[in-house]
Structure 1
């Protein structure tokens, strides 16, 4: 632990929320912590694209108006790990040994989390501690290859794919909802339609929705769920069931890569290990595994 601590930059400490191993403490980060959080996350810009995208858009580590915050773990005023705590828990350079106090702090907030996602060892450690605190998972996806591509794709792109337009929102939203339900097993509209609709609309307005429509219906779509100047993370890949099995996916994914590279040089995604067909498509396009994620669904 001491060797790990010596490699990270100094942090400005404030109040302490709770104890952690080896004298470390956990607290909610504030505005003054922004630079150091960014430096921590930049140790792995692919794995940490979620928090880096948040920092690029807000330039602040402080709690959001919606109540999300970042839990920081410190030792002798040095940041040794962090974890986004909003609708989801997303660890940032967090050693699995420090998962216990972070899970305890997340539990004390009283918030219900939809998921944990990120590097597998830490996600699974957080899950174990949260389970002891009564947070029971709906599903654990323990092995999700994290893949990236730089440079041109290895197959010809299908340029019927383009950036989604808000005029097509009424066609894009049902496709997004169908993908979500296939992926997690329940409707994104549970508890109300407005939140998910705003999320999809926001992606379209940001230019992060990629879609091919034919006769007013989505054939293929994907989103850039997190975007920084270095990395994009592709999410929500979905093919209309009437077009599956025709060998179209690789061409669409090649177009996704080239469109994503207009924003950042590295295109990333993570995929369930058991989805052999999708993995084969991504590898054919040129994606290669650089790590392993896990997702816990509550």
Structure 2
């Protein structure tokens, strides 16, 4: 009984079951579904671990740079929080639907301390058809020639959104390469005038069903 109620790390052989489980909520799970579909469940490739309690179709949580409760009951997310407290803190943010993330944070906060910000009511927006407005003809795909101004805008947006500077730990080399990789992959668009980015957007993650637009 104790083994059944405990949490465990999902292995590489359970990838297909995890993909099916994430498909039940494709919009909210897009970021993690994309990783699992493209990289599998190996810890180094995935950038973290996928936890379950009772099987992936019942309860799921991703633990990596973000801690992401994906499915389960209140008792499940509390169990995931307890597992996170057993080792060193690995994540910078707790992300997920409020009905999962807020109860998890209630368990974590007494040990981890207060959050920079708690967003208990942040809309999750989705578009499943054609947009209602005409596209801006000045928005174009970003090239590597645009890296400098695009990176400057990306850093500013990151600081405004997350509250920390992504260049702190290594002088910005890691974040610069991440932005450059997005550009090289053809997933960044912007309106740039006189060397200044007026608008930017990129496909941050994409599963086989959903693309996550950020910017």
TM-score by length of 2: 0.91
2:25 matches 1:44: yes
In terms of fraction of residues, the more strand-rich structure is 1
Given candidates 41, 48, 62, the residue that maps to 1:68 is: 48
RMSD: 1.9
In 2, the alpha carbon distance for the partners of 1:94 and 1:164 equals: 40
**Partner deviation per Cα, 1:138-171 (whole Å, 9 max, x = no partner):** 1101101111112211111102112221221111
Give the secondary-structure state (helix, strand or coil) at the position aligned to 2:191: strand
2:192 corresponds to which of 203, 213, 219: 213
| Alignment correspondent of 2:91 | 113
> CA offsets, 1:88-145, max 9 Å, x none?
1112223233111101212223133210111111010111111133343111011011
> Aligned match of 2:15 in 23, 29, 34?
34
Deviating more after overlay: 120-129 vs 208-217: 208-217
Number of aligned positions between the proteins: 213
Counterpart in the other structure of 1:185: 163
What SS does structure 2 have at the residue aligned with 1:142? coil
How far apart are residue 53 of structure 1 and its match? 0.6
Q: 1-side partners of 2:96 and 2:181: how far apart? A: 23
Any residues of structure 2 matched to 1:188-203 within 5 Å, and which? Answer: 188-192=166-170, 193-203=172-182
Looking at structure 2, the residues matched to 67 and 106 of structure 1 have their Cα atoms a distance apart, in angstroms, of 16
Alignment of 1:96-111 (within 5 A): 96-111=74-89
Q: Secondary structure at the match of 2:104?
A: helix
Query: For residue 57 of structure 1, what is the aligned residue in structure 2?
Result: 38
Q: For residues 207-246 of structure 1, what are the structure 2 equivalents within 5 Å? A: 207-235=186-214, 237=215
Q: Which residue of 2 aligns with 1:164?
A: 142
In 1: Cα distance, 2:34 partner to 2:86 partner: 27
For residue 56 of structure 1, report the CA deviation from its aligned partner.
2.3
Q: 5+ unaligned residues in a row in structure 2: which ranges?
A: none
Q: Please, what TM-score do these two structures have when normalized by structure 1?
A: 0.67
- How far apart are 1:198 and its partner, in Å? 2.0
